Structure 1
Amino acid sequence: MKIKQVMASFGLFLVASSMTHAQQAPYPVARVSLVTHSSPGGGTDVFLRDFSKQLSTVMKTSFSVENVRGGSGATAVAAVAKGAPDGSIFYGTTPTYIQTTLLSKPPVGYDGLDPMLIVFLDPELIYTRADSPHKTLADVMAFAKANPGKSRWGASNPASLERIAMEKLARAAGVKVPIVSHEGGADQMIGVLNGTYDLGIGEMQELQGQLEAGKIRLLATLSETRLQGLPKLPTAKEQGFNVVVRKFRGLASPKGLPDSVAKAWEDAARKVMELPAYKAEYTRENLTPMVLGREAARKFTTDFAAETVTSFKELGLLK
């Protein structure tokens, strides 16, 4: 009888140990590559570096950020699509990978990856250099109208949300200006700082350093309402230019990623969002947290793509 009791107890111990081990199972790979089309210092580059720094402590694995440029993001998307679906490689998503697919029709589009997470909504900001003679958005538009061909604006790559937003802004103001594209926000910033461009567009993460250094001045946010962290900054809409855009930041994987890995990322992301230091950081940068796991991220991406098609048709970019 005692032998049976001992064996039964030992069996329960093994089950409990197995459950504990399953709960504490380590992430399946020791190193994760986060790929972006953005240049170093650009919005997605900064997001991935800041986010992965926090994730490393939660997921107990190492991260690296790889800047794969070219093709308005298509090169980076194709590189990740070829990767192993084992949790070792992901693409940092923004509306650009959807827009590039729709406009350029590359061999591998956004639908060649599997959306895994949506992490933030990120407001777009219009800015100029600090010593610019243009003090308001209306000043820039007035100059562009009075001096055809002399005003130039910067933007990210041709298929980016930023480029489309600038095209919308020009239409709303009734001006025709050259809008010069770059592979990332850091390259565009140089053109604004040296006076090549009267306007630039970007997110607070990539503008913060130059803003704190007093090198640039914000003129408008392209959000529906004023930002909580920048209550004095007017929207473009309230300044008479009805342009509102929505940018997201997230992650997509090669197709075939196990559900368990996707769930590990969702759980880790939710924990990271609650870390006091990171919460203070993303609040300061006016990022709006919106953690969506795999199924919700898939639906969000599909809906966003449908909205983009409608917008492109209205702009005459798609038939």
Structure 2
Amino acid sequence: MNPLSFDRHRRLRQTAAIRNMIRETSLKADDFIYPLFVAEGENIKKEIPSMPGVFQFSMDRLGEELAEVTALRIPSIMFFGVPNEKDDVGSGAYHPHGIVQEAIRFTKESFPELVVVADTCLCEYTDHGHCGVIKDGDVDNDASLSLLAKTAVSQAEAGADIIAPSNMMDGFVIAIRAALDEAGYQHIPIMSYAVKYASAFYGPFRDAAESTPQFGDRKTYQMDPANRLEALREAESDVVEGADFLIVKPALSYLDVMREVKDRFNLPLVAYNVSGEYAMVKAASREGWLDEKAVVLEKLISMKRAGADLIMTYHAKDAARWLNQ
């Protein structure tokens, strides 16, 4: 074959230095938001069986984890609460001294450099495990909005830097924005779970947060995995209502949706690399079936390539160690 008749793409892959010079997408510890589970009680550092390396921490053990996070130069964390008591309206979510509110205060006092994101939902605090108030066997959308807004304000009062509502109620962004503004927190941004699918990848998280629904499922308020255009409608609504960031969740099976959201809307995009995606890699690596470091970094770079500006991931500490080497 005449060598002039084809391109020599391999010229730009000859050495690691050349490959690094032309790399189109970068991944760094600054990209990560590390989710943390805080539990009521004392001397708790309880590993989640389905999420090896991920723990529930009580307040008296939280500092050791945050010290490690800051040492690894991970800039941001997100709190999920595991309360001792639950009720039908999730009152622990908006109690001024709830577990997440106390964790936020502690973090801002002891590790002020960390950006604290507060997950704003009711599911960890309701005895039925759903993300809002139940009426006639289903989640009452509008009745839930006032409680979600109340939760957001209590988290802002505790010192949260960013409010991240994950409940997928219609109108949740505008309700929370109005409540924050009225309470004097106009400066607090909303990181909306704009596109959240009713995914099978959430199982390990529900173990960690102890938030499995006690009946039914969440398909009336989370999205059908088959739908793409609906994701764009959901994201557009949140943009109009005042969201400052948009989250796509899960990440790995929805990279196509992530790219479309990024191309359509000029807001920072966040990928949530969810618990099931984490657990699969951990399980396979423990069996020796794959190279954990290589697979984790490959899947995280795929999220950046798809348009993510930030990544929520349980791999954050491991990935930061590898990237900082």
Question: TM-score under structure 2 normalisation?
Answer: 0.30
Rg bigger for which structure? 1
Q: Which has the higher contact order (CA 8 A, sep 6+)?
A: 1
- TM-score (normalised: structure 1): 0.30
